[in-house]
Structure 1
Amino acid sequence: MPPPPPPTSFIAVKAPTTKILSSSTTSNSDELMKKLSSRREQEAIKAPKKIEWEIVHPQPTSEGKKVLKFVIISDTHNKHDMLQLPEGDVFIHCGDMTDEGKLEDIEKFNQWVGTLPYKHKIVICGNHEVDISKLGKEKIQELFSNAIYLENSSVVIEGVKIYGTPYIPNMSDLPGEKKEYMCQFDNDYFYRSEEKLAEIFATIDPDTNILVTHTPPKGHLDGILKYGSPSLMTRMNELKDLKVNCFGHVHMGYGYEKIQNGVTVINAASDGDEHPIHFDYNV
């Protein structure tokens, strides 16, 4: 299903005319103003969400005063420039920045990332980055020249290890009714069987602190039918230094929660509707 069209910009909406109005016109104008007022209230509610609790590095420095501010988004589907981004140090996009991974859309996204003021910028692909998925890690990194691209790889930022992987479960492995067309990408692009995902996730660095995936772990912010990966959840339980798992993919699972072992999981799927989630990480 294609993403819904972006909401109308309030800036572009003209105020109702003050010329002579018929009763029907007045009624329409009043109705318009009510809708605009409601939309403004909704936009205010959708301001960037900050996680309430402290997230502390497993081996904090002796001073314990250094804080890294992380900003997380996902599933923007070509609507990235609609977001209200808070200040921060590290920007992470968890995949599906486009609808099909077309080169021109990737280029536009990369240019936008280049304008962001964050010191560190990290991206992974999602299942919608179809067109670039077979180019290979090095070529994809060239396309994301304004960010660090992670694909079964990691980066250390000020002592914090961040690992990223784009792979997600095959549609045929997910619960619920599945149409034939839904399974056409199985074992292709970034789709893999749970058996293969277990092999991929087993290579996640054991000292990972922040894990960036496109799929949710099974049972956490993964929708009513639980579309997350059991293999990912199993591996996360083995990562003793893990503090955060951020992801997207399942749009209806937007939000954050703390799960077993004190790990904070974040579903930042936006699609132009939900706003970024951000948190402070005490190094």
Structure 2
Amino acid sequence: MGLVLPVWKWPCLRSLDAGLDSCPGRSGREHRALRQSRVDPVPHDAPKPPGYTRFVCVSDTHSRTDPIQMPYGDVLIHAGDFTELGLPSEVKKFNEWLGSLPYEYKIVIAGNHELTFDQEFMADLIKQDFYYFPSVSKLKPENYENVQSLLTNCIYLQDSEVTVRGFRVYGSPWQPWFYGWGFNLPRGQALLEKWNLIPEGVDILITHGPPLGFLDWVPKKMQRVGCVELLNTVQRRVQPRLHVFGHIHEGYGVMADGTTTYVNASVCTVNYQPVNPPIVIDLPTPRNS
């Protein structure tokens, strides 16, 4: 299957300060005062402490799961882009891979590459006079309208929530507009309306894209491409213990701000090589679980 990618010109904020200063209710100076540091993930062979839940975080595997060495854990989190185009055949292959994994829970969201999961995108695509994604636009509606049902080996979240082991987990696929891929929205109010759906009290937030300033740096463009509305939502209102995302392959790693641990779990590099290992995070299991 041939995948044709558009030229990557990032519509984004070149300055972190400019983005932070645009946050309503908090100045850039106040945001910058928050602690921001790199964090080492848990080694794959480290024993899990008693009373903890081990989360194994991956993202952006892009139908390249065979080389990935999956570590021990309790809950798998996949933050989207598990396919190249969201074709049913790709989704079935991914679901088979999920079925081979031993985790107690497997939680998945879509990313911009899961085109068929975005029903509004698909409706617009098939109306076009030219086919931007020919292998997708030729699909019949009956082949993609219920594509989520192919994911039988996981919990699929799309602007929705699930509780596992006492942790409230919320997942959302949206990101700032990215040259006409799935689940793209303009920066500003449109994205904020999606983030406003995230309930307070969520322990673990899964989004496909990063918040501004955390693991969102694109060296080639010398730009940060994260979402400032998402940053504002995470730091001012929701304050989850863990925020897992991907999308920006160059941003792989872990950071923290003193309240939330941020994980960019992109397995594939910017050249789509699946060489970044899954990221392991241990969290104390809630007592009421």
When normalised by structure 2's length, the TM-score is 0.69
Q: Paired residue for 1:129?
A: 114
Q: Which letter maps to 1:85? A: M
Q: In the TM superposition, what is the alpha-carbon distance from 1:2 to its structure 2 partner?
A: 6.5
Matched, 1:51 2:42: yes
Using a 3 Å threshold, how does the CA distance of structure 1 residues 69 and 130 change in structure 2: closer, same or farther? same
Map 1:1-283 → 2, pairs under 5 A? 50-51=41-42, 65-134=50-119, 139-171=146-178, 183=179, 185=180, 189-194=182-187, 195-224=189-218, 225-239=223-237, 242-259=240-257, 261-271=258-268, 272-283=274-285
Contact kept in structure 2, 1:71 and 1:277, CA below 8 Å: yes
Q: Deviations over 1:72-102 (max 9, x none)?
A: 0000111112101110000011000111111
Rg comparison, structure with higher value: 1
**Distance in 2 (alpha carbons) for counterparts of 1:131 and 1:75:** 16
**After superposition, what is the alpha-carbon deviation per residue over 1:12-67, rounded to whole angstroms, capped at 9, x for unaligned?**
xxxxxxxxxxxxxxxxxxxxxxxxxxxxxxxxxxxxx7338xxxxxxxxxxx9521
Q: Which whole-Å CA distance do the structure 2 matches of 1:219 and 1:2 have between them?
A: 29
CA RMSD of aligned residues (A): 2.3
* 140 and 231 in structure 1: CA distance in 2 versus 1, 3 angstrom threshold: farther
Distance 1:89 1:74 in 2: 17
SS in 2 for 1:81: coil
Q: Deviations over 1:230-250 (max 9, x none)?
A: 110010013455101010000
Q: CA deviation at 1:140?
A: 4.1
Aligned AA (2:66): D
* 4+ long deviations beyond 4 Å: 135-138
CA distance in 2, matches of 1:274, 1:237: 27
- Asked if 1 retains the 8 angstrom alpha-carbon contact of 2:111 and 2:182, the reply is no
Quote how far apart the aligned CAs of 1:198 are.
Answer: 0.2
In structure 2, give the amino acid aligned to 1:97.
F
Number of matched pairs: 212
Structure 1 pair 140–151 and aligned structure 2 pair: CA distance change class (3 A): farther
Cα distance change on mapping 1:241 and 1:216 into 2, 3 Å: closer
* Aligned-partner residue type, residue 152 of structure 2: S
Aligned mates of 1:250, 1:2 — CA distance in 2: 18
Q: Determine what percentage of the aligned residue pairs are the same residue.
A: 36
Please tell me whether the aligned partners of residues 79 and 207 of structure 2 are also in contact (alpha carbons under 8 angstroms): yes
Q: CA deviation at 1:168?
A: 0.5
Alpha-carbon distance, 1:132 to partner: 3.2
Using the TM superposition, give the Cα deviation of residue 139 of structure 1 relative to its aligned residue in structure 2, in angstroms. Answer: 2.9
Deviation at 1:251, TM superposition (A): 0.3
Alignment gaps of 5+ in structure 1? 4-48, 53-63, 172-182
Q: Which SS does the other structure have where 1:92 is aligned?
A: strand
Q: CA deviation at 1:205?
A: 1.2
